C-alpha cells in the first residue's frame, strides 16, 4: 500500500467535501483544505479530475499556475577566497 496526501475540495454543485489523492510532494498522509495547498502539490494536481457522489464532474484548476520559474546563479565568495582563511 502506497502513501499519498489528500486535498479536500468542496463540490460546487452539492457542497459535499470531495477527496483528491496525490503522490506529488512528501506523501506522508497529510490532508489539506483546497484553500491551503502547498504550491508543489497544487501545481502537480492541476487538471486532475474526479466525479462527486452527486454526479458532478470536477477538475482541479490552479489560479495562475506557474509552469516555469526564472532562476539565477550568483557567485558565493568563501572566507578562504577573501583572504581570511588559514
Count of residues for the chain?
86
- pLDDT band at 39, cuts 50/70/90? confident
Q: Based on the structure, what is the number of domains in the chain? A: 1
Cα 7 to Cα 10: distance, rounded to the nearest angstrom: 10
CA distance 6 to 76: 39
Domain housing 39: 5-82
CB environment 37-50: b (16+ within 10 A), e (fewer): beeebbebbeeeee
Cα–Cα distance between 8 and 68 in angstroms, integer?
26
The pLDDT of residue 29 is above 80: yes
Mean predicted confidence (pLDDT) in 20-27: 88
Evaluate if residue 86 carries a pLDDT over 70: no
Q: Per-residue pLDDT tens for 40-63?
A: 888 889 999 999 999 999 999 988
Amino acid at each position: 500500500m502506497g502513501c499519498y496526501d489528500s486535498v479536500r475540495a468542496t463540490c460546487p454543485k452539492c457542497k459535499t467535501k470531495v477527496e483528491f489523492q496525490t503522490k506529488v510532494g512528501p506523501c506522508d498522509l497529510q490532508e489539506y483544505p483546497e484553500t491551503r495547498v502547498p504550491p508543489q502539490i497544487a501545481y502537480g494536481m492541476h487538471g486532475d479530475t474526479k466525479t462527486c457522489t452527486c454526479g458532478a464532474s470536477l477538475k482541479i484548476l490552479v489560479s495562475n499556475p506557474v509552469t516555469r520559474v526564472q532562476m539565477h546563479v550568483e557567485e558565493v565568495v568563501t572566507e578562504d577566497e577573501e583572504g581570511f582563511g588559514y
